[in-house]
């Protein structure tokens, strides 16, 4: 049996509720500028593949029905530091695919404050994961 305290390091390690939050935040980030670029679509596909494929796409569809407040309220219930960092890192990677717009930056800032994240460390971890995937 795996050690329950072991740190998770893949999006597929997230719980169902954590994946639902990730999907909601991805949907929210994409909504901020009203346009989905090819690069963003590619990154969402990468996130979905790492997070569980069809299940993640279904969660993205469900997230379309949620208000921004409901999504952020759900995010406040994510308490595991490794999950917070993975979710933040995935959103950061998605947001910086083109350039981070004001709405995406606001979401990232709110999450960093909500989860008390040192975003310098999370950004480094996200870059390390991206390098590993290349």
Average pLDDT, the chain: 86
pLDDT at 108 exceeding the cut of 60: yes
Under the banding of pLDDT at 50, 70 and 90, the label for residue 26 is very high
The domain tally of the chain equals: 1
CA-atom Rg of the chain in angstroms: 14
Q: For residues 53 and 112, what is the distance between their CA atoms, to the nearest angstrom?
A: 27
Q: For residues 15 and 59, what is the distance between their CA atoms, to the nearest angstrom?
A: 13
Domain-located, residue 1:
no
Q: Which two tokens stand for residue 74?
A: 């759900």
C-alpha distances out from residue 14 to 33, 76, 80, 104, Å: 27, 15, 10, 22
Domain-located, residue 70:
yes
Domain-located, residue 22:
yes
Domain-located, residue 116:
yes
Domain-located, residue 4:
no
Domain-located, residue 68:
yes
Under the banding of pLDDT at 50, 70 and 90, the label for residue 37 is confident
| Of residues 75, 110, 123, 94, the one with CA closest to residue 29 | 94
Is the distance from CB of 91 to CB of 99 less than 8 angstroms? no
Domain-located, residue 31:
yes
What mean pLDDT is predicted for residues 91-110? 90
Q: Could you tell me the pTM of the whole model?
A: 0.84
Which domain, by its residues, includes 122?
13-133
Domain-located, residue 122:
yes
pLDDT in tens, 45-93: 999 999 989 999 999 999 999 999 999 999 999 999 999 999 999 999 9
CATH at residue 104: 1.10.3680.10
Q: For residues 31 and 16, what is the distance between their CA atoms, to the nearest angstrom?
A: 23
Q: For residues 25 and 27, what is the distance between their CA atoms, to the nearest angstrom?
A: 5
């Amino acid at each position: 049996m795996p050690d329950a305290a072991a740190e998770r390091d893949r999006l597929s390690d997230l719980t169902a509720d954590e994946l639902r939050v990730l999907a909601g935040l991805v949907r929210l980030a994409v909504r901020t500028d009203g346009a989905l670029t090819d690069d963003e679509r590619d990154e969402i596909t990468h996130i979905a593949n790492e997070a569980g494929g069809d299940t993640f796409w279904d969660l993205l569809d469900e997230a379309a029905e949620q208000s921004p407040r409901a999504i952020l309220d759900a995010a406040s219930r994510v308490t595991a530091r490794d999950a917070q960092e993975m979710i933040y890192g995935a959103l950061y990677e998605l947001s910086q695919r083109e350039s981070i717009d004001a709405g995406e930056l606001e979401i990232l800032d709110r999450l960093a404050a909500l989860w008390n994240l040192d975003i310098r460390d999370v950004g480094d971890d996200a870059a390390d994961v991206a390098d590993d995937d290349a």
